Chain A
């Protein structure tokens, strides 16, 4: 088995991005030079190899994204800096962020909109406890809390309106109590008691939902209990065993930390491979990986992935969650649902896994998941390609998809996002580097005639054995060349991937200066990708104008996944809200309009964020009345009392 210093995916990526962040001059020319996976310990060993503490607020922000010690700020000199020690970007200065920020949004560092510093406990309504239920739980030896901080922490995901309200100190309905099961039978006990006493259960995993899935329904009159699955993870790490199914596919059985309800997709680092939520490190130590790397994997949970039909960045090699799952065990009010074997495929009627995948915590709690695992790749390499415009870029990705030669990850950023990525370039250490940057820019814009206002960049990540990676890389670059693409080095590629993990931290920075924003996503057939991106962006600009937004908004788009039949498109959208009375309402109206535009242009309701309560109104239109009726009848059978009453999806 591979040792700790072998080619661990996590460490590999950490090292490469670190290399990019602390740029060494010799890396600059190495646009196609292969890199050997060397044993190099990451700079910051994950600080908490232990599971998430029950009191999450001790290490995480109560009103923003991620760890309390990690945040962006503008120093007195007006330079942007990322604090803490957890990430490779931590402690670095980002000299161009301020100009980009002020120039793009019309924001000003003098105009601050700071958050309420601490939670006002008196704003939290006293818990509505179901005493007999509480007593039965305690009698069963379960850990519970009705501490206001614990409850507030589990009352929200990371939608803009949720975080904005917290920053203003506004607290709505929160769960009345939190319970922490530590194993499958604990969950069975809790569900049984909930049915007996008729209380509402809302499963809680990583809290990274962006679909209002964790919001307590206003109309709920019963006692609401948040079922936090975080303490289920480490208990069974010792029980990990590996089954050799075939020579290439291995199955790892992990009794998981699991949850129902939240969507996993908020940007976070793919570098810090899930210290707390998933025993990836252990897996890596054995020389394996699941290959499932959603951008939020630092915080999100395995159960959450299952419950929302998650998608990982490297799905081209490993597949999405539905392709990775071999077996699921879920506790429902009707009892436990699971398959009887680990067969890789079954023809036994509709796949019961598909009732669970994407059920968003409405049917029960996922307590065990068996995932396929794969040997860790021998070799990994970033890359990027510059295209003269977005159209050419999309045409290239489509051709790559047609030839089925997509690397582990291939993403196409539009021009605005490319410029955004550039604003996140850390301080360059030498004259030589900045000279080279200048040269590169000159080559692309003047010599090749690319318009800096139109060019766009595809970022690539190759994985596999070394020979094949190099061969694969050549194939992809050859296709790109046919569409006018120029190889633009690993540097740009890495920066592109970095963007996805810092974006959520950056939103908190924006909110300190009157800038609010959010991301949303869709999937769409290839022939509609361009039209959809253009129309949605234009709709956003128009809606903002009509709703009195004083500054031009910034809509960005990115093609993040390729499929045979289409692509996943991701949007970021932010604007400066100075002068607006109710910015969140304006934001919501604009996002609503953008979603209508997506649907009108042949996009789906969601590729991987899920529906939650935010997008429920379009479910019928999306899956037809009969389709919705089918889902409702399943809910009716499985949970007639609506114990899992988060009211998502249906």
Chain B
């Protein structure tokens, strides 16, 4: 599925779709004749007919009877409930609403973005795929813009408009919720774990649309917008729903199309940072959206949409799924996925997210952000230019999809990037530093100052995070080599594997791929001349030190952050730490360390990192969840946490963060 060696990847070129919009009438464009390419097996049906097909389906009828006999309610009553659920959920796709959106979005996009770039070869592949088999679109999710842009593009290229699985929170936005519904969004509750009826209505609704070829189904594998710009651990529920019609033989094949949407500057940038620092997310509301109009006056650079190669579910499952396991029960009876199906789904979801990652366009600013974060005291412009250039070559060698302007001097590229992100920086006398630019000058408490700085750091980190997937495996190896007791390959591998397990909630690391990941890391570093991998030993080359040091410092904030969490768990917790209290408590703990000058790493304040660290400790059984009444408390095995911290601490030898560069220069 994903080529193991990213350098071998070939990527398409981009077209700017705003170019034409700037020269012709948006109104005429919104009203133009729209004749999408259709699926060859399409069963034509109206949105209203969908409802009765779903309600009459054997599957739903079966579940209605089951629920009715379990609850004692009459089947009519349960059926009525199902019908209400469906009303709440269903989209009402209308071309006129889409045309309205196309008109307004054309205006908005032109103001927000310098360009919106799309790989047209990807569009052509999609046009082909849409005709052959039902299609599932899997975009990455970084911004609210994502699905608006998707529908906009599909309309633009005469592709069938998708129906989009959206979170229920949108629906509460008056008017806008209904508008989204009429442009193809259908709404699902965030959690409905045990609700059989809800699950049945929802899954049957999605499957019916897929089976009939009604429209491409679009959903986000990551489940929600990533606040950190790192890809999130994918969810498999919806993936299972869209694959089941294939597993059960109802469809010959389903095409999954990963789509990577990347932004030069994210609209929600500082919102996300605040959210991560515990300033709660404002509830989606129409008035909030109107306030966000301020957003329209700023420059957000370019946006990139890359349509990946369609992935056939049939070829994915070959040799992995025995479809005959579904032979013995009538297909209308819902079945939980078997253990190997579950493993397959999980594996596939990870691979698809890795494809999304691989096709994300990285701008020069991402490299600059990486360097600035490693130099909290700022850098000289000249040294920044030098190091950025060095980093650029390293990134390219590791297969990064870097959009570096042709024929432009490095310093020019850098000053452009700095200009676009000036709100995160202070530049004076040839010295650049991450800093608070719009902070009120009125006196602030030290805590507030820390938080203001943290907003800047986390905003900046969200750019660095975009390139982490490129460096991740070599970086894990670099850290492993520092913490391993010897150069022996198996020692290094054990350390690598430990770190991989530790960080598997933090980064996209396919479960079960640790050997391949290790080999990939060795391969990349060997090719770069950093390492020599012998039969039993891994030896660093003379020139490799700086690269290894750079790679280690990429992971440094995470290593430090996890140590803060483990220190908190060991030192501060009592018997009654509830799950709910965990995040604010760790945040306070980290804040105190920063104020005391004992911690420089602002990223330790990020709730995302704290959550992931807790997940790691839970996974490694150093912390247990215990249910007491209706509270979930965390039971800490301090000895286990301590030993994990020790192991992490061994890796954390680079306290002088920028030491790698001086070694390179020497």
Binding site for B on A (CB under 8 A): 525, 527-528, 531-532, 534-535, 538-539, 599-602, 621
Instruction: Decide: B330 and A531 in contact? CB cutoff 8 A.
Output: no
Instruction: Decide: B249 and A532 in contact? CB cutoff 8 A.
Output: yes
- Chain A residues within an 8 Å CB radius of B331: 527-528
Closest 4 CB pairs of A and B: A600-B323, A601-B249, A602-B327, A538-B252
Tell me which of B249, B250, B330 contacts A600 (CB under 8 A).
Answer: B249
Question: Could you list 9 further interchain pairs (A-B, Cβ under 8 angstroms) beyond the known A531-B250, A534-B252, A602-B326?
Answer: A527-B331, A531-B249, A535-B249, A539-B252, A600-B249, A600-B322, A600-B324, A601-B249, A602-B327
Min CB gap A210→B, angstroms: 24
Instruction: Decide: A602 and B330 in contact? CB cutoff 8 A.
Output: no
- Chain B residues within an 8 Å CB radius of A600: 249, 322-324
Q: How far is the CA of A100 from the CA of B380 in the complex (A)?
A: 80
The count of A-to-B residue pairs whose CB atoms sit within 8 angstroms is 26
- Chain A residues within an 8 Å CB radius of B252: 534-535, 538-539
- Chain B residues within an 8 Å CB radius of A531: 249-250
Tell me which of B322, B323, B324, B330 contacts A527 (CB under 8 A).
Answer: B330
Q: How far is the CA of A601 from the CA of B326 in the complex (A)?
A: 8
- Chain B residues within an 8 Å CB radius of A525: 330
Contact sample, A vs B, 20 pairs, CB 8 Å cutoff: A525-B330, A527-B330, A527-B331, A528-B331, A531-B249, A532-B249, A534-B252, A535-B249, A535-B252, A538-B252, A600-B249, A600-B322, A600-B323, A600-B324, A601-B249, A601-B323, A602-B249, A602-B326, A602-B327, A621-B324
Q: How far is the CA of A551 from the CA of B132 in the complex (A)?
A: 19
Min CB gap B628→A, angstroms: 48
- Chain A residues within an 8 Å CB radius of B330: 525, 527
- Chain B residues within an 8 Å CB radius of A621: 324
In B162-178, the 8 Å CB interface with A consists of none
Closest to B43 in A: A391
Closest to A541 in B: B252
- Chain A residues within an 8 Å CB radius of B322: 600
Q: How far is the CA of A601 from the CA of B249 in the complex (A)?
A: 5
Closest to A603 in B: B327
- Chain B residues within an 8 Å CB radius of A601: 249, 323
Instruction: Decide: A602 and B324 in contact? CB cutoff 8 A.
Output: yes
- Chain B residues within an 8 Å CB radius of A527: 330-332
Min CB gap A415→B, angstroms: 15
Closest to B58 in A: A527
Q: How far is the CA of A600 from the CA of B252 in the complex (A)?
A: 11
Q: How far is the CA of A535 from the CA of B254 in the complex (A)?
A: 12
Q: How far is the CA of A600 from the CA of B253 in the complex (A)?
A: 13
Min CB gap A607→B, angstroms: 16
Closest to B330 in A: A527
Q: How far is the CA of A525 from the CA of B252 in the complex (A)?
A: 18
Given A527-B330, A527-B331, also A599-B249 (CB < 8 A): no
In B239-268, the 8 Å CB interface with A consists of 249-250, 252
Min CB gap A592→B, angstroms: 14
> What are the interface flags for B307-342 relative to A under an 8 Å C-beta threshold, 1 for contact and 0 otherwise?
000000000000000111011001110000000000
- Chain B residues within an 8 Å CB radius of A535: 249, 252
In B522-549, the 8 Å CB interface with A consists of none
- Chain A residues within an 8 Å CB radius of B323: 600-601
- Chain A residues within an 8 Å CB radius of B326: 602
Closest to B245 in A: A531
- Chain A residues within an 8 Å CB radius of B332: 527
Min CB gap B377→A, angstroms: 60
- Chain A residues within an 8 Å CB radius of B324: 599-600, 602, 621
Closest to A528 in B: B249
- Chain B residues within an 8 Å CB radius of A538: 252
Give the most central of A525, A527, A601, A621: most B CB within 10 Å.
Answer: A601
Min CB gap B168→A, angstroms: 33
In B201-226, the 8 Å CB interface with A consists of none
Min CB gap A397→B, angstroms: 18
Q: How far is the CA of A602 from the CA of B322 in the complex (A)?
A: 11
Closest to B250 in A: A531
Q: How far is the CA of A600 from the CA of B248 in the complex (A)?
A: 8
Min CB gap B39→A, angstroms: 13
- Chain A residues within an 8 Å CB radius of B327: 602
Q: How far is the CA of A599 from the CA of B322 in the complex (A)?
A: 10
Min CB gap A392→B, angstroms: 13
Closest to B41 in A: A534
Q: How far is the CA of A528 from the CA of B324 in the complex (A)?
A: 12
Q: How far is the CA of A178 from the CA of B330 in the complex (A)?
A: 50
Q: How far is the CA of A535 from the CA of B133 in the complex (A)?
A: 12
Closest to A534 in B: B252
Q: How far is the CA of A538 from the CA of B250 in the complex (A)?
A: 13
Q: How far is the CA of A602 from the CA of B250 in the complex (A)?
A: 11
Min CB gap A627→B, angstroms: 15
Closest to B322 in A: A600
Min CB gap B326→A, angstroms: 7
Closest to A621 in B: B324
Min CB gap A398→B, angstroms: 13
Min CB gap A317→B, angstroms: 29
Q: How far is the CA of A531 from the CA of B253 in the complex (A)?
A: 12
Q: How far is the CA of A288 from the CA of B326 in the complex (A)?
A: 45
- Chain B residues within an 8 Å CB radius of A528: 249, 331
- Chain A residues within an 8 Å CB radius of B249: 528, 531-532, 535, 600-602
Q: How far is the CA of A527 from the CA of B322 in the complex (A)?
A: 19
Closest to B328 in A: A602
Q: How far is the CA of A531 from the CA of B331 in the complex (A)?
A: 12
Q: How far is the CA of A539 from the CA of B246 in the complex (A)?
A: 13
Q: How far is the CA of A621 from the CA of B331 in the complex (A)?
A: 20
Min CB gap A409→B, angstroms: 28
Q: How far is the CA of A38 from the CA of B478 in the complex (A)?
A: 95
Give the most central of A534, A538, A600, A601: most B CB within 10 Å.
Answer: A600
Q: How far is the CA of A531 from the CA of B248 in the complex (A)?
A: 9
Q: How far is the CA of A534 from the CA of B249 in the complex (A)?
A: 10
Q: How far is the CA of A532 from the CA of B251 in the complex (A)?
A: 10
Q: How far is the CA of A398 from the CA of B331 in the complex (A)?
A: 17
Q: How far is the CA of A531 from the CA of B249 in the complex (A)?
A: 6
Give the most central of B249, B323, B332: most A CB within 10 Å.
Answer: B249
Q: How far is the CA of A527 from the CA of B330 in the complex (A)?
A: 8
- Chain B residues within an 8 Å CB radius of A539: 252
Min CB gap B444→A, angstroms: 66
Closest to B247 in A: A600
> What are the interface flags for B111-134 relative to A under an 8 Å C-beta threshold, 1 for contact and 0 otherwise?
000000000000000000000000
Q: How far is the CA of A620 from the CA of B331 in the complex (A)?
A: 24
Q: How far is the CA of A600 from the CA of B331 in the complex (A)?
A: 13
Q: How far is the CA of A536 from the CA of B148 in the complex (A)?
A: 39
> What are the interface flags for B414-445 relative to A under an 8 Å C-beta threshold, 1 for contact and 0 otherwise?
00000000000000000000000000000000
Q: How far is the CA of A528 from the CA of B327 in the complex (A)?
A: 9
Q: How far is the CA of A359 from the CA of B332 in the complex (A)?
A: 36
Min CB gap A453→B, angstroms: 13
Min CB gap A293→B, angstroms: 31
Q: How far is the CA of A599 from the CA of B323 in the complex (A)?
A: 8
Q: How far is the CA of A601 from the CA of B324 in the complex (A)?
A: 7
Min CB gap B317→A, angstroms: 10
Q: How far is the CA of A601 from the CA of B322 in the complex (A)?
A: 10
- Chain B residues within an 8 Å CB radius of A532: 249
Min CB gap A308→B, angstroms: 24
Q: How far is the CA of A538 from the CA of B252 in the complex (A)?
A: 7
Min CB gap B166→A, angstroms: 30
Q: How far is the CA of A264 from the CA of B326 in the complex (A)?
A: 32
- Chain A residues within an 8 Å CB radius of B250: 531
Q: How far is the CA of A527 from the CA of B324 in the complex (A)?
A: 15
Closest to A525 in B: B330
Min CB gap A567→B, angstroms: 15
Q: How far is the CA of A602 from the CA of B329 in the complex (A)?
A: 10
- Chain B residues within an 8 Å CB radius of A602: 249, 324, 326-327
Q: How far is the CA of A601 from the CA of B250 in the complex (A)?
A: 9
Closest to B133 in A: A538
Min CB gap A355→B, angstroms: 26
Give the most central of A525, A527, A602: most B CB within 10 Å.
Answer: A602
